[in-house]
Structure 1
Amino acid sequence: MKRLENKVALVTGGNSGIGLSTAQRFAEEGAQVIITARRQQVLEEALAIIGHGAMGICGDVADIAHHAQVARQVRRDFGALDVYVANAGVLTIQDSAAVSPTEFDAQFSINTRGVFFGVQAMVPILRDGASIIVTSSLASGRVLQGHAVYAGSKAAIEAFARSWALELKDRRIRVNVLVPGPVDTAIVEKLGVPEADRPAFLQSMADRIPAGRLGDPEELAAAALFLASDESRFVNGAELRVDGGMFLG
């Protein structure tokens, strides 16, 4: 039997990178998958990749009204939710002295506020025994240059997750944190690395990882599947680091 057979799973930011790979893996394992994304075109492109009857809802996780809309639609179409992956996030690398209030607010609105109010909206439609997975970052616990604001936004959601694990214990809803290290996704292009410099940039990052390479989105998806499935039924309030050992360096 597939590990998420007859489960309903929602992945925010499921249009690319770790979110897309997670949505694909969940669908392959039998889940009815719903993804969210900010742009309709990329949403439709992702749904074509995922297949398996996946559906999408367009909206911005920084908008509280979006979460209420998603919850209403999931309840209407599927009755309840079994897995919620709060994955959507943004990263802007900037030394603290140069961070503007606008840049600060943009990261906290999506990475922190969006996660908090997303979970708040989904809890009433989660089945007892459901799984919540929050995607954080290696940066939350290890200092990386230019990551101060991003790190703060991710550290906050780890604190949220610990509180939620206890707040939701009477309903046996598990809350765990997926903590990725560097993963070879479109984030590299977003950092402004020229294509000609990409191999050297990736190698310099790989040299800092005991595993000797960056992670693949599929490896993060496998970890997310573990946290979503009954295989992790005794795992709660945990931070699962999938970083090739980089946190140790």
Structure 2
Amino acid sequence: MKLFSFNKGVAGPSFAVMTGGTGGIGCEIAGILLEQGWDVLLLTRQPRKAEEQISSRNGRFEAVYCDLTKPADLESISSALVERKKSIGLLIHCAGKIKPEPTRNITWHSLEDQMTINLTSPIIMTSQLLPALSPVAHIMFVNSIAGVMPLQGSSVYSATKFGLRGFARSLALEFKPGTIKVSSIFLGAVDTPMLEQETRDGGSVLNFVNKPLSARDVANLIIRTSKGKGREVFLPAVDGVFAHACLIMPWLLRITTPILEKIGHIGLRRFQKKLNRN
């Protein structure tokens, strides 16, 4: 396996490791970090695609093959990073997988695929990379509103995102104030290839109650959050308020769903027209 070539001992909080960099959000995050002078190591199953999408700019960039569903890949990368003694200032878990389907159609493959990419690999990778983190590093989990509000028709995806929130909140309690920080970003629908594919696969119309977010705007929010204290951020903010209200009052989601679906269908038709134009 080809491992990264960044020099040993180059210290500090200007070294970022991330997954999911060939998607819309991850690609934008990597570009912004490089503009700001960070060195970025991207773990991906498509390193050549990543290198075509992302230019080095002010910092150094390298994409390394890593299949997040294979423990051996995670262990090899993590061991190499720890051995290189190059402190990681920012660890971003951006990779995600969704397979919309009713519960009666769930297969072992779709369950394992979503669980591994959305939940198991971020947990294992974080655990293995803790020795390589800077004492003031920031761990970022790119989550979803589906991690706070149940998503009908995507129960496995929602379960993995609820689990990721639980892990992140528990992890944050392990660190003293002023040391390693943990943040989770809970996003509504984002205008990315992943959303386009989800829509083709019959994803929830609730994705389109609001206009899908810009990947660039989301990336900027994630970078701004990484420079502050660890916290949970919801975008759009109103989705976070509504999702928590539904957790407290489960009946609220049931009585509002018919209205939200009508609004969502209007937004979906608008989104589909845009796809057809492209």
Q: Take 1:205 and 1:70, find their aligned partners in 2: how far apart are those partners?
A: 35
Tell me which of 234, 238, 245 is aligned to 2:238: 245
Matched AA of 1:67: L
CA displacement, residues 30-69 of structure 1 (integer Å, 9 cap, x when unaligned): 2111111112332332334877421111111122222232
Give % identity.
22
Alpha-carbon distance change, 48 to 166 in structure 1, aligned in 2, over 3 angstroms: same
In the alignment, structure 1 residue 93 sits paired with structure 2 residue 94: no
Alpha-carbon distance change, 223 to 140 in structure 1, aligned in 2, over 3 angstroms: same
1:36 equivalent in structure 2:
43
Tell me which of 225, 228, 247 is aligned to 1:227: 225
Residues 13, 134 of structure 2: 8 Å contact kept: no
1:198 equivalent in structure 2:
none
CA displacement, residues 172-220 of structure 1 (integer Å, 9 cap, x when unaligned): 10011011110000013322539xxxxxx999844x12xxx21011111
Alpha-carbon distance change, 117 to 171 in structure 1, aligned in 2, over 3 angstroms: farther
Q: Provide the aligned length of Structure 1 versus Structure 2.
A: 230
Tell me which of 139, 150, 153 is aligned to 1:146: 153
Instruction: Give 1:82 shift.
Output: 0.5
CA displacement, residues 5-48 of structure 1 (integer Å, 9 cap, x when unaligned): 96101111111211111111111122111111112332332334
State the structure with more CA Rg.
2
Instruction: Return the TM-score normalized by structure 2.
Output: 0.75
Q: Take 2:17 and 2:234, find their aligned partners in 1: how far apart are those partners?
A: 22
Q: Take 1:204 and 1:81, find their aligned partners in 2: how far apart are those partners?
A: 37
Alpha-carbon distance change, 144 to 203 in structure 1, aligned in 2, over 3 angstroms: closer
Matched AA of 1:241: F
Give unmatched runs, 5+ long, in structure 2.
1-11, 243-278
Instruction: Give 1:83 shift.
Output: 0.4
1:197 equivalent in structure 2:
none
Instruction: Return the TM-score normalized by structure 1.
Output: 0.83
Q: Take 2:212 and 2:26, find their aligned partners in 1: how far apart are those partners?
A: 17
Instruction: Give 1:166 shift.
Output: 1.3
Tell me which of 196, 211, 214 is aligned to 2:212: 214
Give unmatched runs, 5+ long, in structure 1.
195-200
- For the aligned residue pairs, the C-alpha RMSD in angstroms reads 2.6
Q: Take 1:183 and 1:93, find their aligned partners in 2: how far apart are those partners?
A: 16
Residues 81, 129 of structure 2: 8 Å contact kept: no
How do residues 1-249 of structure 1 correspond to structure 2 at under 5 angstroms? Answer: 7-48=14-55, 52-75=59-82, 79-169=86-176, 172-191=179-198, 193=200, 205-206=207-208, 208-209=209-210, 213-229=211-227, 232=228, 235-236=229-230, 238-243=231-236, 245-248=238-241
